[in-house]
């Protein structure tokens, strides 16, 4: 990974680390939906998690 990308990842993580909840915006039957998901930074990668029994999972 180049230095520029590493700096961008560090900057993004520093922005989100205090509140790891982010929001996923979608539409369902032509209605907007905004749902919280969890952001995790692990092993130099960003991961998002959500439950398996809710409307965010197809």
Q: pLDDT-derived band of residue 58, with 50, 70 and 90 as boundaries?
A: low
What pLDDT does 54 receive? Answer: 63
What pLDDT does 32 receive? Answer: 92
pTM tops 0.75, yes or no: no
Which residues contact residue 52 at a Cβ distance below 8 angstroms, ignoring those fewer than 6 apart? none
Question: What are the pLDDT digits (tens) for 10-33?
Answer: 888 788 777 777 888 888 889 998
What pLDDT does 6 receive? Answer: 86
């Amino acid at each position: 990974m180049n230095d520029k990308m590493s700096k961008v990842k560090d900057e993004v993580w520093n922005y989100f680390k205090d509140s790891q909840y982010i929001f996923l915006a979608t539409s369902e039957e032509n209605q907007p939906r905004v749902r919280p998901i969890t952001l995790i930074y692990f092993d130099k990668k960003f991961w998002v998690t959500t439950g398996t029994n809710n409307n965010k999972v197809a």
